[in-house]
């Protein structure tokens, strides 16, 4: 068989990608803009203000989603300090987009992010990392949870969050700002017992029905789609949106969690 280059051969079906300057997806033969405009989604009705009764109103379909709130959050999970998503205005109130993601079922992912009961949130399905978990026992091994703090010479090598406003890694003195009087009693009691030698983890997900969170707005914007186009559309939308608009504070990777 002759393996000579066939670049000049009309039968060559391989497109050279080295010098490509434009690319994208198509929908029914037309170019698809992967830089999704959040306000366009809201104008199209693809949003929902979350409360104790609203979860089942979200689509039970695959797609992308964005979580926005006016709750102050001190820490961030990535150091993209100077490239954050712009605030969006909702009912005259500025909201920060704190997370964007994708899921086989949008409703299931939002349930994990915003409706996690106090008995859950340790070594289970991932969710936004806002609150300290009181379920972690010192010295035990866990998975999926983000570590908030550990002593520098512990030798564990965990990736730790950042102080968003001060643009540096979280230290022990910052921990007391992460929890407040509005936290659950179990969490407050746990935090009173920890010290500078402790390892502290964040809970997977929050419960927006708790006093700490229910006084704030929690808005979910979504872009639902069918299973046929879910991949690669959702992957590209997630990555491109972060690349262009900035990484939300609670996203720890360029893509995914």
Domain span at 122: 34-245
Selected residue with higher pLDDT from 7 and 204: 204
Q: Which of 153, 150, 146 is nearest to 130 (CA)?
A: 146
Q: Is 64:237 a contact under the CB 8 Å cutoff?
A: yes
User: Does a structural domain hold residue 250?
Assistant: no
Count up the domains in the chain and report the number: 1
User: Does a structural domain hold residue 52?
Assistant: yes
User: Does a structural domain hold residue 125?
Assistant: yes
pLDDT at residue 183 in the model: 95
Main-chain phi, psi angles of 107, to 5 degrees: -60, -40
What is the tens place of the pLDDT at every residue in 120-169? 999 999 999 999 999 999 999 998 999 999 987 665 667 899 999 999 99
User: Does a structural domain hold residue 26?
Assistant: no
H helix or E strand, kind and range, residue 107? helix 106-114
User: Does a structural domain hold residue 172?
Assistant: yes
| Residue 257 pLDDT > 50 | no
Let me know if 21 is exposed, middle or buried by CB neighbors in 10 A (0-12, 13-18, 19+). exposed
User: Does a structural domain hold residue 27?
Assistant: no
User: Does a structural domain hold residue 251?
Assistant: no
pTM: 0.91
pLDDT at residue 82 in the model: 96
- For the stretch 46-59, what's the b/e string if a residue is b when 16 or more beta carbons lie within 10 angstroms of its beta carbon? bbbebeeeebeebb
- % of the chain beyond a pLDDT of 90: 77
H helix or E strand, kind and range, residue 175? helix 172-178
Main-chain phi, psi angles of 75, to 5 degrees: -100, 160
Q: How far is 17 from 125, CA to CA, in rounded Å?
A: 38
pLDDT band at 33 (very low <50, low <70, confident <90, very high): confident
Q: How far is CA 15 from the centre of its chain?
A: 35
User: Does a structural domain hold residue 28?
Assistant: no
DSSP state of 29: T
Q: How far is 111 from 30, CA to CA, in rounded Å?
A: 34
């Amino acid at each position: 068989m002759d393996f000579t280059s066939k670049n000049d051969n009309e039968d060559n079906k391989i497109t050279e990608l080295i010098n490509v300057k434009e690319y994208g997806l198509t929908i029914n033969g037309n170019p698809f803009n992967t830089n999704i405009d959040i306000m366009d989604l809201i104008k199209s009705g693809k949003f929902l203000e979350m409360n104790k009764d609203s979860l089942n109103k979200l689509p039970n379909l695959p797609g992308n989603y964005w979580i926005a709130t006016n709750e102050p959050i001190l820490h961030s999970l990535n150091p993209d300090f100077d490239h954050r998503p712009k605030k969006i205005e909702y009912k005259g109130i500025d909201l920060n987009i704190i997370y964007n993601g994708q899921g086989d079922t949008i409703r299931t992912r939002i349930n994990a992010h915003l409706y996690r009961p106090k008995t859950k949130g340790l070594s289970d399905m991932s969710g936004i990392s806002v609150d300290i978990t009181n379920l972690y026992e010192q010295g035990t091994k866990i998975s999926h949870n983000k570590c908030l703090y550990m002593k520098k010479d512990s030798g564990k090598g965990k990736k730790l969050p950042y102080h968003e406003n001060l643009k540096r890694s979280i230290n022990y003195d910052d921990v007391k700002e992460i929890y407040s009087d509005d936290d659950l009693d179990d969490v407050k009691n746990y935090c009173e017992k920890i010290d500078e030698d402790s390892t502290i983890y964040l809970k997977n997900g929050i419960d927006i029905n708790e006093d700490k969170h229910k006084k704030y707005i929690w808005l979910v914007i979504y872009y639902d789609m069918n299973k046929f186009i879910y991949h690669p559309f959702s992957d590209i939308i997630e990555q491109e949106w972060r690349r262009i608009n900035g990484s939300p504070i609670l996203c720890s990777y360029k893509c995914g969690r």
